[in-house]
């Protein structure tokens, strides 16, 4: 009879322990999802600003068609991205295209003095800062989830319960050079 009580107590402790681990993993997964939602909101704001910025530059720099088209195409790729990896690549391209657009704007003093352009540039800079902060928060949430999924004893429960490691949202090593490189502007 004592053996049955001991066995029952062990089963109850393991069940409580499993439930605790499961609830922690669920909370961490929700934090990752919420953090991605924050990034998504900021990216949508960025996408909404870009057409206005392109139109403003277009009025001053109509012969910079290639740069304007590159920004528009990069924006569309970012909107259409379906996976985290596609989103990362598209965002890297968009960041590079926007850098090129601002480099073109440097060559037009009237455009640089245009209040509408300056306001759009300020708003875009603000959104970029918010995106960077949201990415840091997302990556921190992913790190917490990934650590929890790999730690013992959660590692015993994670895979069978459907929890797996998530990817970070960061610039790829190959794309980092493209994003950080000075834009090529020719007239």
Q: Where are the domains of the chain?
A: 2-180
According to the model, what pLDDT value does residue 5 have?
92
> CA 4 to CA 40: how far, in whole Å?
53
pLDDT digits (tens, 9 = 90+) for 153-170: 899 888 998 999 999 988
- Classified as helix, coil or strand, 114 is coil
CA torsion angle 103 106 112 116 (round to 10): -20
Identify the residue with better confidence: 44 or 179.
Answer: 44
CATH architecture under which domain 2-180 falls? Up-down Bundle (1.20)
Please report, for the chain, how many H helices and E strands are present, in that order: 7, 0
Is this model's pTM higher than 0.85 or not?
no
Query: pLDDT band at residue 115, thresholds of 50, 70 and 90?
Result: confident
* pLDDT value at 136 more than 80: yes
> CA 129 to CA 10: how far, in whole Å?
51
* pLDDT value at 132 more than 80: yes
Query: pLDDT band at residue 182, thresholds of 50, 70 and 90?
Result: very low
Query: pLDDT band at residue 13, thresholds of 50, 70 and 90?
Result: very high
> To the nearest whole number, what is the mean pLDDT of the chain?
85
Answer whether 145's CB lies under 8 Å from 29's CB.
Answer: yes
pLDDT digits (tens, 9 = 90+) for 47-99: 999 988 888 887 777 667 788 888 999 999 999 998 888 888 899 889 888 88
According to the model, what pLDDT value does residue 11 have?
94
Answer whether 91's CB lies under 8 Å from 118's CB.
Answer: no
Instruction: Name the region of 162 (left: φ>0; alpha: ψ -120 to 50; beta: rest).
Output: left
Which residue do the tokens 């990216």 mark?
A: 43
Enter the tokens of residue 77. Answer: 């790729």
- Classified as helix, coil or strand, 184 is coil
Among 104, 118, 103, smallest CA distance to 52 is for: 118
Q: What angle is formed at CA 117 by the lines to CA 116 and CA 122, rounded to 5 degrees?
A: 100
- Classified as helix, coil or strand, 165 is coil
According to the model, what pLDDT value does residue 109 have?
79
Query: pLDDT band at residue 174, thresholds of 50, 70 and 90?
Result: low
> CA 99 to CA 101: how far, in whole Å?
5
Percent pLDDT > 70 in the chain is 90
């Amino acid at each position: 009879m004592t053996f049955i009580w001991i066995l029952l107590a062990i089963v109850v402790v393991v069940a409580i322990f499993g439930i605790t681990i499961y609830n922690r993993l669920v909370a961490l997964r929700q934090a990752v999802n919420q953090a991605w939602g924050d990034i998504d909101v900021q990216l949508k704001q960025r996408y909404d600003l870009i057409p206005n910025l392109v139109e403003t530059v277009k009025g001053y720099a109509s012969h910079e068609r290639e740069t304007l088209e590159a920004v528009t195409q990069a924006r569309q790729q970012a909107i259409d991205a379906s996976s985290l990896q596609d989103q990362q690549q598209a965002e890297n391209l968009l960041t590079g295209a926007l850098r090129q657009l601002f480099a073109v704007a440097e060559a037009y003093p009237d455009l640089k003095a245009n209040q509408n352009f300056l306001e759009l540039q300020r708003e875009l800079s603000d959104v970029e800062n918010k995106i960077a902060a949201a990415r840091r928060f997302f990556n921190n949430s992913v790190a917490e989830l990934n650590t929890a999924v790999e730690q013992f004893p959660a590692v015993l429960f994670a895979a069978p319960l459907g929890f797996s490691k998530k990817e970070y949202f960061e610039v790829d090593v190959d794309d980092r050079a493209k994003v950080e490189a000075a834009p090529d502007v020719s007239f």
